[in-house]
Amino acid sequence: DAKTTQPPSMDCAEGRAANLPCNHSTISGNEYVYWYRQIHSQGPQYIIHGLKNNETNEMASLIITEDRKSSTLILPHATLRDTAVYYCIVRDQTGANNLFFGTGTRLTVIP
């Protein structure tokens, strides 16, 4: 069963911030939020993950709401190479080995 809900597609202008939402209203206390992306014909690539605090790395920022029922992945300055399918995943750190990918959000960065 899907634990996350994402819009099927989004567009973003090159150079602008891309904000990708994810709903995970049934998330439990020991589940992390992970984001992966998959560029065409490649394997998925890890972007970022978090538990309850906002996180930032060289690729993106992750904003998690206080109730943890939703999150937003932010690509601050989208480039054409960011065009990909973005997957939001919740994962229990204590046992589950299975990352459930769902169908993700297809982000298209427009020149």
CB closer to another protein, 18 vs 88? 88
CB closer to another protein, 14 vs 106? 106
Binder to another protein among 29, 53, 58, 94 (CB under 8 A)? 94
Q: Determine the Cα–Cα distance for residues 1 and 72; give it in Å rounded to an integer.
A: 21
The total number of residues shown for the chain amounts to: 111
Contact call for residue 5 and another protein (CB under 8 A): no
Binder to another protein among 62, 70, 87, 90 (CB under 8 A)? 87
**Residue 80 phi/psi, 5° resolution?**
-60, -30
Contact call for residue 101 and another protein (CB under 8 A): yes
Contact set for another protein, span 15-54 (CB under 8 A): 32, 34, 36, 41-46, 49
How is residue 70 written in tokens?
A: 């939703």
| Count of residues touching another protein (by CB under 8 A) | 25
- Classify each residue of 54-88 as buried b or exposed e, where b means 16 or more C-beta atoms within 10 Å of its C-beta: ebeeeebbbbbeeebebbbbbbeebeeebbbbbbb
Site for another protein, rule CB under 8 A: 32, 34, 36, 41-46, 49, 85, 87, 92-104
